[in-house]
């Protein structure tokens, strides 16, 4: 068998989301976030099946807000709602078409070194439990720590990641860069790893790649960008651009880079936002004025569509610019803008709360 991780732009059979409720991530009893999650789930379900993990607490709200057609609710406990990072990463056998999930070790983005909450046992168990309930074979990555948002692939043997994340002391400190690279290639059926130096400024995941750079097709990426040399993001994006311009993919191709500017006005935590959170002991907290890692690169492919985050308000012109760029780059897909300010307040965006299952068969 020859398993590989398909590109996200390839056909999908389903998506996975977790209905939000954690008080330290989603303010005001998660009600504003739940409405946006429901919009994303209902929109995606018009294009492919959607699995939604719920708890006893969130199930009634999910049943009320979600269209039931093409949506399956699964009772799976979790510590938060970041499906990209805790759900399985799926690979497919090129011969049989079998799809199986990979269960990585999850430690809340850094464990005791710099993790974002003190208890993550339910999130760590999520991938295996999802595969059990949904009927997919599951392969364990052992003690290797990885979140789905820290990798992207072109589906043709190239993996994209950031040094700031995967070389973080809170991930796999006992492994060298070369050993981490080898592990990725073995688990994902890849031939080459491209290491970008950094991610998005103030990204509390140690700068996941899914917030700064993404494949839109083989040998072609969008890169979060700013022309403002006084913005702290400028040096980070410039370092990524230099890395991309000086490498080739697994097939020896130069990579075409399209700049996708970040919001012109930084998205920050407000006093009203802060009043809605309820933080528990050992959990990372927020403060008024804190800059959030807002990026339009954090979009999600589903069949025939792209769900593109929008931040609204004073960033409406930036939203329109990002929408027009994506429409130009992906003319055969419907680019659907989603007002996602309530998701970035939790620390991530649309890509962070979704995980795709590629087209294939269950064995």
> Rounded CA gap, 242 and 246, in Å?
6
CA Rg value for the chain: 19
* Catalytic residue list contains 165: no
- The beta strand positions in the chain, using DSSP E, are 3-4, 12-18, 49-54, 71-75, 89-93, 99-105, 138-145, 152-153, 158-162, 192-196, 213-217, 220-225, 256-261, 300-302, 305-310, 334-339, 355-358
- Two tokens, residue 6: 């398909």
> Rounded CA gap, 208 and 163, in Å?
9
Q: Which of 160, 141, 146, 42 is nearest to 100 (CA)?
A: 141
Residue 84 sits at the vertex; the CA angle it makes with 335 and 185, to the nearest 5 degrees, is 105
Could you say which of 165, 213, 240, 352 is catalytic? 352
> Rounded CA gap, 334 and 323, in Å?
11
Cβ atoms 258, 220 nearer than 8 A = yes
The residues that are catalytic are 352
């Amino acid at each position: 068998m020859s398993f590989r991780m398909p590109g996200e732009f390839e056909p999908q059979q389903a998506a996975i989301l977790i209905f939000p409720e954690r008080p330290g991530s989603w303010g005001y009893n998660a009600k504003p976030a739940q409405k946006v999650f429901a919009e994303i789930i209902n929109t995606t379900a018009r294009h492919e099946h959607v699995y939604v993990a719920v708890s006893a607490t969130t199930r009634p709200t999910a049943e009320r807000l979600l269209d039931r057609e093409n949506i399956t609710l699964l009772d799976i406990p979790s510590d938060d709602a970041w499906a990209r990072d805790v759900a399985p990463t799926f690979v497919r056998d090129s011969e049989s078409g079998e799809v199986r999930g990979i269960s990585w070790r999850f430690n809340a983005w850094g464990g005791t070194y710099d993790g974002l909450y003190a208890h993550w046992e339910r999130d760590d168990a999520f991938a295996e439990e999802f595969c059990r309930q949904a009927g997919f074979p599951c392969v364990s990555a052992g003690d290797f720590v990885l979140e789905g948002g820290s990798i992207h692939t072109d589906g043709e043997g190239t993996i994209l990641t950031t040094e700031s994340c995967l070389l973080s002391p809170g991930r796999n400190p006992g492994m060298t860069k070369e050993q981490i690279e080898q592990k990725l290639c073995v688990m994902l059926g890849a031939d080459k790893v491209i290491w970008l130096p950094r991610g998005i400024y103030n990204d509390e995941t140690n700068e996941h790649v899914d917030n700064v750079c993404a494949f839109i097709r083989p040998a072609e990426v969008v890169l979060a960008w700013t022309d403002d040399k006084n913005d702290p993001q400028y040096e980070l994006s410039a370092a990524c651009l230099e890395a991309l311009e000086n490498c080739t993919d697994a097939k020896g191709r130069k990579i075409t880079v399209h700049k996708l500017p970040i919001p012109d006005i930084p998205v920050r935590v407000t006093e009203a936002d802060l009043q809605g959170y309820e933080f528990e002991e050992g959990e990372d907290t927020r403060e008024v004025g804190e800059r959030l890692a807002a990026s339009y690169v954090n979009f999600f492919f589903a069949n025939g569509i792209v769900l593109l985050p929008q931040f609204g308000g004073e960033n409406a012109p930036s939203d329109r610019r990002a929408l027009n760029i994506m429409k130009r780059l992906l003319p055969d897909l419907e680019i659907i803008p989603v007002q996602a300010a309530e998701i970035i307040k939790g620390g991530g965006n649309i890509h962070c709360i979704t995980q795709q299952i590629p087209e294939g068969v269950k064995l």
